[in-house]
Amino acid sequence: MPFKNYFKSLPLVGVLGAVALVAQMAPVVTIAPQATVKAKRGSPATVTLKVNLPAGFHMNSNKPTDPNLIPLTLKWTGGPLQDGAITYPKPQLETYTFTAGKPISIVTGAFDVVTKFKVPAAAETGPAAQTGTLRYQACNDRMCFPPKTIPVNVTVSVE
């Protein structure tokens, strides 16, 4: 075997190390950028947040089975749209090593959080920002990571 081929095997050392490290890093949750939401005064408007949690992790659903667990929560804090009714993703009931046989209510992977708003008849027309926060707490099958709150910012065009 030529010597250079030994270097081909070297990345394996790095890869195994990287896997060990990644397994202990908090997952990065993303919200896909959204096209401008067109909202007509006096009509309903829907905002769909497309959230992604990396594979191998889960987060508690909006209604965790244990009161100590921190729920997935979307809060709208500002913007022209009002009275948002939020629909969270349908949870899965899963058991893990740490749940001692009791299933817990979680969400995984890519999912939507949908908010149906009412656009006030007196809303100012033109573009505006609808802002809020998404709070979650993620774990894998062996460890958990501190709760995080990430900003949500959606551009709304009121017509």
Residues of this chain that bind another protein (CB under 8 A): 1-3, 5-6, 10, 13, 17, 20, 23-26, 66, 68-70, 96-100, 104, 137, 139, 142-147
C-alpha 48: how far from its chain's center? 12
Residue written as token pair 């075997």: 1
Q: Which positions ≥6 away from 108 have C-beta within 8 Å?
A: 53, 57, 58, 59, 92
Q: What minimum distance in Å lies between the beta carbon of 100 and another protein?
A: 7
Min separation Cβ 143 and another protein, Å: 4
Smallest gap from Cβ 37 to another protein, in A, equals: 32
- Least spacing, CB of residue 141 vs another protein, in Å: 8
Residue 53 CB coordination number (10 Å): 21
Buried b / exposed e over 35-50, threshold 16 CB at 10 Å, is: eebebeeeeebebebe
55 or 100: CB nearest another protein: 100
| Residue among 52 and 140 whose Cβ is closer to another protein | 140
Report the residue number, 69 or 156, with the smaller CB distance to another protein. Answer: 69
